[in-house]
Amino acid sequence: MTDLTDVRPTIPDFSGQQLAPGDDGYDRSRSVFNGMIDRSPSLIATCRSAKDVAAAIAWARASDLPISVYGGGHSVQGSAVLDGGLCVDLRGLRDVVVDPEAATAQVGGGCTWGELDAATQEHGLAVTGGRVSTTGVGGLALGSGSGWLERRLGFTCDNLIEAQVVTADGQIVTASETEHPDLFWALRGGGGNFGVVTRFTLRLHPVGPIVFGGMLMYPAPMGADVLRNFRDFIADAPDEVGGGVAFITAPPIEMVPEPARGKPAVGVIVAWTGPLEQAEAVLAPLLTFGPPVFAHVGPMPYVALQRMLDDANPHGMQNYWTADFFDELPDEAVETLVPLATAPVSPLSQVIIVPGGGAIARVPEDATAFGERQARFNIHYLSMWPDPADSEANIAHTRALAAALKPWTTGAVYLNFIGDEGQDRIESSFGETKLARLREIKATWDPDNVFRHNQNIPPAG
Ligand SMILES: Cc1cc2nc3c(=O)[nH]c(=O)nc-3n(C[C@H](O)[C@H](O)[C@H](O)COP(=O)(O)OP(=O)(O)OC[C@H]3O[C@@H](n4cnc5c(N)ncnc54)[C@H](O)[C@@H]3O)c2cc1C
């Protein structure tokens, strides 16, 4: 590795900003969502074009420096940054160009969901996207991309038409069903292993701009009944119903009645994007279940629904996340989950039960690198707390919760929802056949594993 101690590193033929330790803005640029991550790249290269990305990769390879790729900085394992290497920062690539006639969006590789949703909603269009607006489109889409619209529109990756990719050897290529289809297949669930996506072309759909959404919140002792009611309702619900069940701590905000504030609670998140006049009839089994502590549901802008969880997910907390897919949630699983989920160590921690089915389950299993499309539920255990001194207790509780539910899991995991849980966990999420194909594709496009600071798929051979 090049010794950069005395020389200021500089990438030639680079139009973006280059920040080294000590520069103004360097510390802000290297920070990521998860406050546990404190890494110092030798250089943060904020790219403004695909050519910048190619120049940065070529320079790092010639300097024998490892590379990380920063999209929106939200992966909890902190793979956007690394110690002592080059951070290829895509936050200079944030353009969104919407073609309302064709119902497509061209999206820069460092764009956030807040930026993309704002641009598409100007035309009453949207694509399935992240539930917190600060999350990057890049990492989320490459990990398949789960969001409130997925039962109606599939994952984000199911709406990917084309990607502009800078490869490990510096080529700028297009991947689509007709150009480099193997690469295109791998990008839809295989993460950042195959190249740097500088532009995503996504298919859009009419959504809102006013949808029917919000949250009904119940006291913790009603948790099992609330979850069973949601489980039974969603089994036959139309595709336009999105949402989930969230075990949280009631926040100290005006709409929450004073006595409930700061207490464990269970929320039913509602996201209906069908005709507004049908919302109350379709959602009646959820809307009439109760009594809730409060019900904040009704017509709202889609962009507000997409920001509804922003305040509950502040930047810079300590984070330990894990997840599992489930075929069913029998009563025994519900009874096991609820006592643990309603006794969080930190009031910021959440357990979110996301329903599957609908459009995601209709895409053939082998159509994309992402699999496990028949799972009925995806449970995301997120623990968050401010003080590193509390890490042990929080992590232990989250692990105990996930372990207690293991008897009902499918064995696969949604990689976007976990931190660093080792290579086995990554590989098992794809299954043997897909993993073998991904490794072959990796060997074609990145035989030296240049893109390895991620949920890594090593090249075959
Ligand atoms: C608050 C919060 C809410 C979330 N909500 C959801 C959700 O609703 N649905 C969901 O599916 N996931 C969700 N996630 C998980 C999220 O999708 C992943 O953490 C994802 O990796 C974040 O993408 P990013 O670009 O912000 O991350 P980064 O940390 O910047 O990137 C993670 C990795 O992705 C790769 N990468 C990113 N961009 C590119 C690119 N353009 N080209 C090539 N590789 C790239 C790189 O390997 C990088 O190391 C959430 C995460 C957080 C923190």
Same domain, 253 and 395: yes
Burial 93-113 (b: 16+ CB within 10 A, else e): bbebebeeeebbbbbbbbbbb
Q: With a 6 A CB cut-off, is 416 part of the ligand 1 pocket?
A: yes
User: Is residue 214 within 8 Å of residue 300, measured between CB atoms?
Assistant: yes
Tell whether 221 and 194 lie within a shared domain: no
- Which domain range does residue 29 map to? 17-89
Q: Which position has the token pair 């199911």?
A: 158
**Cis amide prior to 330 (ω within 30 degrees):** no
Residue 215 shares a structural domain with residue 202: no
Residue 293 and residue 172 share a domain:
no
249 and 200 in a single domain? The answer is no
Spacing, Cα 197 to ligand 1 middle (Å)? 13
Residue 319 within a domain:
yes
Q: Is 356 among the domain residues?
A: yes
Q: How far is the CA of 112 from the centre of ligand 1 (A)?
A: 10
Give the dihedral sign, CA 117/49/187/417: negative
82 Cα–ligand 1 center, Å: 16
Q: Is 132 in the pocket of ligand 1 (CB under 6 A)?
A: yes
Pocket flag, ligand 1, residue 130 (CB < 6 Å): yes
Whether residues 199 and 233 share a domain: the answer is no
Q: Are residues 271 and 353 in the same domain?
A: yes
Please indicate, yes or no, whether residues 52 and 165 belong to a single structural domain of this protein: no
Does 320 lie in the same domain as 192?
A: no
Residue 46 inside a domain? The answer is yes
Q: Give the whole-angstrom CA distance, residue 453 versus residue 60.
A: 14
Pocket test for ligand 1, best of 32, 116, 132, 135 (most atoms within 8 A of CB): 135
Q: What is the pLDDT of residue 380?
A: 98
Q: Is 139 in the pocket of ligand 1 (CB under 6 A)?
A: yes
Report the b/e string of 187-197 with b at 16+ CB within 10 A.
bbbbbbbbbbb
Q: What is the CATH number of the domain that holds 113?
A: 3.30.465.10
Ligand 1 lined by 269 (C-beta under 6 Å): no
- To test ligand 1's pocket by mutation, which of 91, 95, 140 has the most ligand atoms within 8 angstroms of CB? 140
Domain co-membership, 251 together with 330: yes
Give the distance between the most distant pair of CA atoms in the chain.
Answer: 69
Low-confidence ranges of the chain (pLDDT < 50): none
Q: Are residues 70 and 219 in the same domain?
A: no
User: At 46, which CATH number?
Assistant: 3.30.43.10
Pocket flag, ligand 1, residue 146 (CB < 6 Å) = yes
Question: Residue 187: how many CA atoms within 13 Å on its side-chain side?
Answer: 35
pLDDT of residue 5: 52
- In this prediction, residue 7 carries a pLDDT of 67
Q: In angstroms, what is the span from residue 283 Cα to ligand 1's centroid? A: 31
State residue 230's pLDDT score.
98
Q: Specify the pLDDT at position 6.
A: 55
Tokens of 424: 């086995």
In a domain, 334, yes or no: yes
Is the CB–ligand 1 distance for residue 192 below 6 Å? yes
Q: How far is the CA of 72 from the centre of ligand 1 (A)?
A: 6
Return the residue whose CA atom lies nearest to atom 28 of ligand 1. 73
The structure tokens listed for 72 are: 């929106």
Contact between 384 and 349 under an 8 Å Cβ cutoff? The reply is yes
Q: What are phi and psi of 457, to 5 degrees?
A: -110, 105
DSSP state of 458: P
Pair of tokens at residue 186:
């791998």
**How is the beta sheet containing 377-385 ordered, strand by strand?**
294-301, 210-219, 264-272, 241-249, 350-355, 377-385, 318-326
Tokens of 60: 């790092």
Q: Is residue 214 situated within a structural domain?
A: yes
Residue with CA at minimum distance from ligand 1 atom 51: 74
Domain stop point among 189, 206, 223: 206
Closest to 344 (Cα-Cα) out of 316, 379, 383, 310 = 383
* Residue position matching structure tokens 């043997």: 432
Which residue lies with its CA nearest to atom 7 of ligand 1? 130
Find the DSSP H helices in 148-221. Answer: 150-153, 181-187
| CA 450 to ligand 1 centroid distance, Å | 19
Cβ(108) – ligand 1 distance below 6 Å: no
Task: Kindly give the number of the ligand 1 atom that is closest to the alpha carbon of 197.
Answer: 42
The reply to whether ligand 1 has any atom less than 6 angstroms from the CB of 57 is no
CATH at 270: 3.40.462.20
Handedness of CA 450, 456, 458, 459 (dihedral sign): negative
- Write b or e for each residue in 227-246: b if 16 or more Cβ atoms lie within 10 A of its Cβ, otherwise e: bbbbbebbeebebbbbbbbb
∠ at Cα 88 (30, 453), nearest 5°? 85
Closest CA to 223 of 176, 163, 289: 289
Render 269-322 in DSSP notation, one character per residue.
Answer: EEEE-S-GGGHHHHTHHHHTS---SEEEEEEEEHHHHHHTTTTTS-TT-EEEEE
- Report yes or no on 373 lying in a domain: yes
User: 68, 89, 110: which is the final residue of a domain?
Assistant: 89
Alpha carbon 229 to its chain's center = 27
Asked, as a colleague might, if the bond just before 291 is cis with ω within 30 of 0, I would say yes
CA distances to 180, 335, 415 from 321, in Å: 34, 22, 10
Residue 107 lies in a domain: yes
Is 129 a pocket residue for ligand 1 (Cβ < 6 Å)? Answer: no
| Mutate which of 49, 67, 74, 384 for ligand 1 pocket (most atoms within 8 A of beta carbon) | 74
For ligand 1, the distance from its centroid to the CA atom of residue 222, given in whole angstroms, is: 33
Question: Is position 242 within any domain?
Answer: yes
What backbone phi and psi angles, to 5 degrees, belong to 48? -115, -5
Q: What is the dihedral of CA 53, 67, 114, 297, to 10 degrees?
A: 150
Q: Which of 70, 89, 108 is the last residue of a domain?
A: 89
Model pLDDT, residue 146: 98
Which two tokens mark 142? 């490459």
Which two structure tokens, joined as six digits, stand for 237? 């619900």
Cα 78 to middle of ligand 1, angstroms: 10
Residues 100, 151 share a domain: yes
In a 3-state reduction of DSSP, which class is residue 139? helix
State the Cα–Cα distance between residues 278 and 142, nearest whole angstrom.
34
Look at the chain and report how many structural domains it folds into: 3
